[in-house]
């Protein structure tokens, strides 16, 4: 059986006033179903660019990307949107919850967009809140939650439509060390329960927790390590 | 979800939203008032002059009805002559005068009409009885209020008061029999009516067999203009005016006014649209990061468009609805001010509310709301996702 994620010679340039920036210079790797991969490297080496391509929020200039059998690099805007909704869970460094919605409504949002019936939505919200340890926080707004709690809500939201792949860009970047460790525990549990994870991180402990680390520099992969 | 998100987005900046609502409400109120005014002027003018179906007025030569104190003499003969003109259905003679009555410590001067109750076209009886005999009068509410009289009271009325000599020509006792609404005098003008011969006698020699004007009704199926010409030929001493000609002229003037009202209303609507567009565009710019995140987690462009357009609709809908209420209240208020203008007839309505107009104004504002949301919706839905997220992360 082929890998869940197949990245082949993926390249992405940004045109700047001073000329093109080669953010990604032909990157190839696979991610197997159920794997937990950490992407590490210095700031500006192209990690977020790579993650955005994996999450279909950006398109490559060259190369191919196949996720769960779909050629993601060839999707038009509408198809890419559906792909993101059904297949990808995205977690950002800065939580990015909707400030006007409660924790429960934030988690419900992608399910409402996927036209899941209300009762089923509500049940899944409760289940997810319990899973990330926020059962009592359903009606809190993001401003009433701590950074760690907000990031848990963001993870619950990412899991709402049972994605094939969970992508996280520096999920511990804005958390203190202790909360960061809790987050690593949560990711560990997620992966043990079968979630395939690709996480971009600066955090050595987060990277060490992943089974496999991809080291990048200057838009290219320079090393790989498997624990 | 889009509706809830739109509502929450608006509630997030309450003061700003309230100000925008107020702006839209004012523009909606203006639009409605303009439409009501245009309708009122059009529907009312003709109906008002042609009240009771008297299409022709006979006034002293060279004057308009009640234009001056001039009167027509030998009235009885003239009435009989006009009644014989072919096509004439009814002739209603009217004499106008001032009457005085002392009430408590002050004197109340009333506009006093001498009429023939069988053919009169000057008032409608609200309560009590009409002019059954020569001691009866009917009065409007204003006169009753000023004199503090009630139905059945006996009053002393004087006609022909001379302020220098402090004398009156005639004085008599009357009984207040009825309360009436007079079509052609203002509600603030104390007005009474009595039988024509009584007023003529009280006026002494100067008023014997005199009238101020005649109102003439032509048959429904005759050419009013031809009747007018025939009456004019029969009475060389008078001017015969056809109201249809007069109203046609006024109608033409009103057409300009209606156009102006429409232009002003449209401008106010345009300002409303710009206001909503500006506000929602600002909101969308502020929420660029949130919108990019929604797109990143799979929310469709269509949902974003729906949400932003809903914002515009909510704003303009609530604003328009409050605007309609404000518009109705201000129309009523302006109507009262205008009705109190000296000489403004009680029957004249400037603002006429038609549900159709309100529907039109609401519909226009609704479409305006959608229009207003289109630009910010397009902006929001075409945000570059990755670029916006990156910019927000750096900020
Ligand atoms: N939207 C963009 N426009 C221009 N240059 C960009 C843009 N996004 C990223 N870059 C550039 O591409 C390179 C890689 O950026 P990024 O993928 O964000 O790195 P990392 O996440 O590893 O810090 C950097 O040099 C960055 O300045
Ligand atoms: Mg980055």
Q: Please give the distance, rounded to the nearest whole angstrom, from the Cα atom of residue A170 to the centre of ligand 2.
A: 7
Which residues are placed with Cβ below 5 angstroms of ligand 2, an ion?
A: A 48
Element (H, E) at A80: helix A77-87
pLDDT tens by residue, chain B, 395 residues: 778 888 888 888 888 899 888 888 888 888 888 878 877 776 766 666 666 678 888 888 877 766 667 788 888 888 988 988 888 989 999 999 999 998 878 889 999 999 999 989 889 899 999 999 999 999 999 999 999 999 999 999 998 877 777 777 888 999 999 999 888 887 788 999 999 999 999 888 888 889 999 999 888 888 888 888 888 888 778 888 887 777 777 777 777 877 887 788 888 888 888 888 999 999 999 999 999 999 999 999 999 999 999 999 888 888 888 988 998 899 888 888 877 766 566 666 778 777 877 787 778 778 888 888 899 999 999 999 999 988 876 65
* A27 closest CA partner among A14, A43, A46, A44: A46
Whether B395 has its CB under 8 Å from any CB of chain A: the answer is: no
End-to-end CA distance of chain B: 28
Domain ranges of chain A: 5-226
Would residue A38 be called left, alpha or beta, if left means φ above 0 and alpha means ψ between -120 and 50 degrees? Answer: beta
Below-70 pLDDT ranges, chain A? 1, 95
Element (H, E) at A16: strand A5-16
Structure tokens at B1: 């979800």
Determine phi and psi for B286, rounding to 5 degrees. -65, -35
User: Which pLDDT belongs to residue B46?
Assistant: 62
Rounded CA-CA distance B72/B283 in Å is: 73
User: Which pLDDT belongs to residue B234?
Assistant: 80
Q: Where are the beta strands (DSSP E) in chain B?
A: 56-60, 88-103, 106-115, 123-128, 136-139, 154-159, 170-182, 191-195, 213-218, 238-242
User: Which pLDDT belongs to residue A29?
Assistant: 95
Predicted ipTM of the assembly: 0.93
Scored b (16 or more CB within 10 A) or e, A133-172 reads bbeebbebbbeebebbbbbbbbbbbbbbbebbbbbbbbbb
User: Which pLDDT belongs to residue B347?
Assistant: 65
Nearest CA in chain B to A85: B298
CA-nearest residue, atom 25 of ligand 1: A44
Task: Please say whether the beta carbons of B85 and B231 come within 8 A.
Answer: yes
User: Which pLDDT belongs to residue B342?
Assistant: 61
Q: Please give the distance, rounded to the nearest whole angstrom, from the Cα atom of residue B171 to the centre of ligand 1.
A: 104
pTM value is: 0.72
Structure tokens at B174: 């009357």
Answer yes or no: is the C-beta of B390 below 6 A from any ligand 1 atom: yes
Pick the CATH number of A5-226 from 3.30.310.10, 3.30.390.50, 3.40.30.10, 3.40.50.300: 3.40.50.300
pLDDT (tens digit, 9 = 90+) per residue, A148-192?
999 999 999 999 999 999 999 999 988 899 999 999 999 999 999
CA-nearest residue, atom 14 of ligand 1: A46
Spacing of C-alpha A151 from chain mean position:
12
User: Which pLDDT belongs to residue B395?
Assistant: 56
Q: Please give the distance, rounded to the nearest whole angstrom, from the Cα atom of residue A128 to the centre of ligand 2.
A: 27
Which residues are within 8 A (CB) of B85 and not within 5 positions of it... i.e. 6 or more apart?
A: B227, B230, B231, B234
């Amino acid at each position: 059986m082929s890998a869940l994620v197949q990245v082949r010679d993926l390249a992405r340039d940004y045109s700047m006033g001073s000329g093109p920036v080669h953010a990604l210079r032909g990157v190839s790797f696979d991610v197997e179903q159920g794997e937990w991969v950490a992407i590490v490297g210095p700031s500006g080496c192209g990690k977020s660019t790579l993650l955005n391509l994996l999450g279909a929020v950006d398109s490559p200039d060259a190369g191919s990307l196949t996720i769960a059998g779909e050629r993601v690099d060839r999707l038009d805007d509408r198809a890419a949107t559906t792909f993101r909704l059904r297949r990808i869970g995205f977690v950002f460094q800065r939580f990015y919850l909707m400030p006007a919605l409660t924790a429960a409504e934030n988690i419900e949002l992608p399910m409402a967009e996927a036209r899941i019936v209300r009762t089923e939505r509500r049940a899944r919200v409760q289940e997810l809140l319990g899973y990330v340890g926020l059962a009592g926080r359903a009606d809190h707004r993001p401003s009433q939650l701590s950074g760690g709690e907000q990031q848990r809500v963001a993870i619950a939201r990412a899991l709402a439509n049972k994605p094939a792949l969970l992508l996280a860009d520096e999920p511990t970047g804005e958390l203190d060390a202790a909360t960061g460790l809790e987050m690593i525990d949560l990711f560990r549990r997620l992966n043990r329960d079968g979630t395939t994870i690709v996480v971009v991180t600066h955090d050595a402990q987060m990277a060490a927790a992943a089974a496999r680390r991809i080291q990048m520099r200057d838009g290219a992969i320079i090393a790989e390590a498997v624990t | 979800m889009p509706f809830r998100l739109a509502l929450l987005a608006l509630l997030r900046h309450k003061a700003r939203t309230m100000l925008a609502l107020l702006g839209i409400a004012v523009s909606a109120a203006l639009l409605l008032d303009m439409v009501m005014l245009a309708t009122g002027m059009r529907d009312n003018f003709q109906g008002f002059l042609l009240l009771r179906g008297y299409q022709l007025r006979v006034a002293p030569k060279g004057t308009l009805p009640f234009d001056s104190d001039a009167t027509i003499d030998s009235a009885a003969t003239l009435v009989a002559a006009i009644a014989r003109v072919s096509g004439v259905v009814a002739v209603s003679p009217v004499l106008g005068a001032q009457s005085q009555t002392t009430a408590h410590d002050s004197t109340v001067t009333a506009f006093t009409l001498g009429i023939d109750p069988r053919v009169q076209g000057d008032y409608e009886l609200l309560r009590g009885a009409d002019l059954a005999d020569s001691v009866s009068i009917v009065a409007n509410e204003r006169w009753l209020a000023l004199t503090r009289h009630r139905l059945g009271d006996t009053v002393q009325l004087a006609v022909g008061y001379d302020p220098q000599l402090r004398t009156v020509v005639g004085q008599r006792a009357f009984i207040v029999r009825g309360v009436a609404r007079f079509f052609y005098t203002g509600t603030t003008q104390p007005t009474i009516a009595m039988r024509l011969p009584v007023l003529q006698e009280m006026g002494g020699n100067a008023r014997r067999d005199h009238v101020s004007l005649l109102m003439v009704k032509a048959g429904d199926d005759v050419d009013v203009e031809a009747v007018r010409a025939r009456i004019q030929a029969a009475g060389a001493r008078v001017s015969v005016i056809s109201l249809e000609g007069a109203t046609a002229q006024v109608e033409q003037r009103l057409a300009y006014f209606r156009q102006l009202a429409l232009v002003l209303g449209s401008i106010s609507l345009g300002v409303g649209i710009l206001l909503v567009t500006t506000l929602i565009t600002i909101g969308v710019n502020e929420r660029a990061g949130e919108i990019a995140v929604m797109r990143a987690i799979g929310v469709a462009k269509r949902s974003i468009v729906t949400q932003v357009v809903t914002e515009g609709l909510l704003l303009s809908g609530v604003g328009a609805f409050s605007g309609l209420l404000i518009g109705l209240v201000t129309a009523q208020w302006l109507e009262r001010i205008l009705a109190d203008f000296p000489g403004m007839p009680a029957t004249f309505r400037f603002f006429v509310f038609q549900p159709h107009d309100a529907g039109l104004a609401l519909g226009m504002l609704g479409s305006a709301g959608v229009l207003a949301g289109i630009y910010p919706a397009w902006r929001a839905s075409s945000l570059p996702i990755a670029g916006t997220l990156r910019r927000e992360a750096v900020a």
